[in-house]
Amino acid sequence: MKIHLTSIFVDDQAKALDFYTEILGFVKKHDVPLGEARWLTVVSPDAPRGTELLLEPVGHPAVKPYRDALVKDGIPLAQFAVDDVKAEYERLSGLGVRFTQEPLEAGPVTTAVLDDTCGNLIQIATQPQ
């Protein structure tokens, strides 16, 4: 068994696609119209056949209170692995990304938390090889 797809709820799919591709560097894999929404997924350019991230619209009524509570408490909805958190923090900060947590070393792991502009906090992490 392996993880094939996971989703993240976004306020605006077009805005999310821009952020996740143009800023974070993912690539679009699927873009299928489904009425007012789309089946819209992105993948890592390093693993185009790997796990897909579905940029899912916030249509369900439970989504807003759930996401609001996570953001209020500073809890990231997802974590993405990067080779160097500090370098990625500098790169993304230079692109105007707002961080709620600057790089923080916690034992062998370094993390930082960013606002994805679509209603979520995302943690980036570097772990030792």
Q: Where are the domains of the chain?
A: 5-126
Q: 123 CB contacts (<8 Å, ≥6 apart)?
A: 76, 78, 79, 80, 101, 111, 112, 113, 114
**Residue 28 CA: distances (Å) to CA of 2, 13, 96:** 21, 12, 22
List the CATH code of the domain at 5-126: 3.10.180.10
Q: Spell out the per-residue pLDDT of the chain, length 129, in tens.
A: 999 999 999 999 999 999 999 999 999 999 999 999 999 999 999 999 999 999 999 989 999 999 999 999 999 999 999 999 999 999 999 999 999 999 999 999 999 999 999 999 999 999 876
pLDDT of amino acid 72: 96
Helix H, strand E, coil C: the string for 93-116 is HHCCCCEEEEEEEECCEEEEEEEC
pLDDT of amino acid 118: 95
Q: How far is CA 128 from the centre of its chain?
A: 21
Residue 36 token pair = 């007012």
pLDDT of amino acid 125: 98
SS3 label, residue 79? strand
